[in-house]
Amino acid sequence: MPEITKDTIIGDILRICPDAVPLFMSIGMHCLYCPSAQGETVEQACFVHGVDVDTLLDELNSIIALNAD
């Protein structure tokens, strides 16, 4: 699995790792499947939702690593 970076598009994350949905929801990103969210980068989404991008990246990459096993 590729590493998620601040430039990764939310729609791409949802396609490669649907298990990340609860994480996004838990931090207030409830519009994951709306067109604007699908094209946002992780950094843009974090800015809009007031979330620390590095913390979210760590959590996302941990979820992806667990799913790769």
- Chunked into runs of 10 residues, the chain (69 residues) has average pLDDT values of 90 92 90 85 93 96 85
Instruction: Tell me the CA distances in angstroms from 27 to 1, 68, 69, one per residue in order.
Output: 23, 24, 26
The pTM for the full model equals 0.87
What does the alpha-carbon distance between residue 56 and residue 6 come to, in Å, rounded to a whole number? Answer: 9
- Token pair of 67, please? 């799913």
Domain locations along the chain: 10-68
What does the alpha-carbon distance between residue 53 and residue 30 come to, in Å, rounded to a whole number? Answer: 17
Question: Which of the four CATH numbers 1.10.3910, 2.60.40, 3.40.50, 1.10.1760 does domain 10-68 have?
Answer: 1.10.3910
What is the model's pLDDT at position 22?
95
What is the model's pLDDT at position 69?
63
- Token pair of 15, please? 């396609």
